[in-house]
Amino acid sequence: MVKVPTKLVTWDEIVEWSMGLAEVIKSSGFRPDVVVAVSRGGYIPARLVCDFMLVDNLISIQSQHWTEAAKVAEKALIKYPYKVDLSGQRALLVDDIVDTGDTLILARDFILSEWKPKELKIAALQWISPVAKIKPDFYYIEVKDWMWFQYPWTRHEDTVQFIKRALSEEGKSKKVWSFEEIRNVFIEYYGIDVGEVYFKLALKSLVDLGFLKEEGGKYFIKV
């Protein structure tokens, strides 16, 4: 049974969704002078929205939401709080997905108070309506049941984390694994197949990180 509902998103879907999002924005009559990508997830959607809306100006802001080691306190922060003068400009803040909405709220508040645009609107490819604290001005897909969207730009990072999580759980009773066994447990946990190239790359990274040891085609969980 799948433990974490996950959808593998393709590059073609990203292009289609970004084109759809640009159409939603255009039909509202809003014409941004500058697009602000929320780093890191909003980079590619923001670049595509610029393309489909023929916007030349693209900058970014890194708003990050992180959980402290003990997992008690969650914090969001603007990583590089540089100053940009957006006075007199209509700005469009673009992200991939609004889940809790915390990173976007932080970015929006920072831009309004520090960069002072004439107008600021928010766009996201996806909006998880039951859990999000804010509704973006523009979105392409409303998600009604929470799931993890495995976007193509985090495929390696997610695969590494996913394998680590599944093996940390299963590794309590089994320390030695074959490639096929790891692949099967991955599909069982997440219900998606990232393909052999990404899978091999992730296992290599987990060996480099010291989480796994490889010997004679078998993988040993070290920690």
Contact residues toward ligand AMP (CB under 6 A) are 41, 65, 95-103, 148-149
Distance of closest approach, residue 84 Cβ to ligand AMP, in angstroms = 21
Q: Write b or e for each residue in 197-209: b if 16 or more Cβ atoms lie within 10 A of its Cβ, otherwise e.
A: ebbeebbebbeee
Which residue number, 116 or 156, has a Cβ lying nearer to ligand AMP?
Answer: 156
Distance of closest approach, residue 122 Cβ to ligand AMP, in angstroms = 11
Q: What is the number of alpha carbons within 13 Å of residue 28 lying toward its C-beta?
A: 16
Which residue number, 93 or 212, has a Cβ lying nearer to ligand AMP?
Answer: 93
Distance of closest approach, residue 99 Cβ to ligand AMP, in angstroms = 3
Which residue number, 109 or 214, has a Cβ lying nearer to ligand AMP?
Answer: 109
The residue with tokens 């509902």 is 5
Report the side by side order of strands in the sheet with 90-98: 74-78, 57-67, 34-39, 90-98, 119-128, 138-143
Distance of closest approach, residue 6 Cβ to ligand AMP, in angstroms = 8
Helices (H) and strands (E) in the chain, counts: 6, 11
Specify the 3-state DSSP secondary structure of 207: helix
Residue nearest to ligand AMP as judged by C-beta position: 41
Which residue number, 147 or 209, has a Cβ lying nearer to ligand AMP?
Answer: 147
